[in-house]
Amino acid sequence: MKEISNLQAINLALDTVMSENQKSVSMGLGHNDPKRIFGTTINLVERYGDRRCIEPPTSENAITGICFGMSLIGFSVCLTHQRFDFSLLSFDQIVNSVAKWSFMFNKDSATSFLIRLIVGRGWGQGPTHSQSYHSFLASVPGLDVYYPLMPSDSYKTILKGMTSGKPTIMIEHRWLHNLKENKKNLYSERSINELRLLSKGKDFTVFSYGYPAIEAFKSIEILRRFNISIDLIVSQKVIFDDLDLLIKSISKTKNLLIIEPYFEKCSASSSLFYELMKNLELTSYSLNSFEIISLPFESESSSIFKTRKRFSSCIDIAKNILKKLKVANDIQALNFNTKPHDIPGEWFKGPF
pLDDT of 1 reads 60
198-202, 265-269, 332-336, 348-352 — which is least confidently predicted? 332-336
pLDDT of 190 reads 93
Q: Cα separations (Å) of 246 from 143, 249, 303?
A: 24, 5, 37
Spatial separation of the C-alpha atoms in residues 339 and 320, rounded to whole Å: 20
| Domains identified in the chain and CATH numbers | 3-187 (3.40.50.970), 196-334 (3.40.50.920)
**Does the pLDDT at position 233 exceed 70?**
yes
Residue 275's pLDDT band (cuts 50, 70, 90): very high
Which residue(s) pair with 199 in the sheet? 232
At 53-67, the pLDDT tens digits run 999 999 999 999 999
Residue predicted with more confidence, 160 or 304: 160
Backbone angles phi, psi at 346, to 5 degrees: -65, -20
Residue 287's pLDDT band (cuts 50, 70, 90): confident
Task: Specify the length of the chain in residues.
Answer: 352
Residue 209's pLDDT band (cuts 50, 70, 90): very high
100-109, 304-313, 338-347 — which is least confidently predicted? 338-347
pLDDT of 108 reads 78
Q: What is the DSSP string of 306-327?
A: TTTTTS--HHHHHHHHHHHTT-
32 and 96 Cβ atoms separated by less than 8 Å: no
207 and 258 Cβ atoms separated by less than 8 Å: yes
The region, left, alpha or beta by phi > 0 then psi within -120 to 50, assigned to residue 258 is: beta
pLDDT of 195 reads 97
> What is the dihedral angle through the alpha carbons of 86, 119, 320, 280, rounded to the nearest 10 degrees?
80
pLDDT of 210 reads 97
Spatial separation of the C-alpha atoms in residues 184 and 172, rounded to whole Å: 21
pLDDT of 63 reads 97
pLDDT of 282 reads 56
At 19-32, the pLDDT tens digits run 999 999 999 999 99
102-111, 132-141, 327-336 — which is least confidently predicted? 327-336
Residue 332's pLDDT band (cuts 50, 70, 90): low
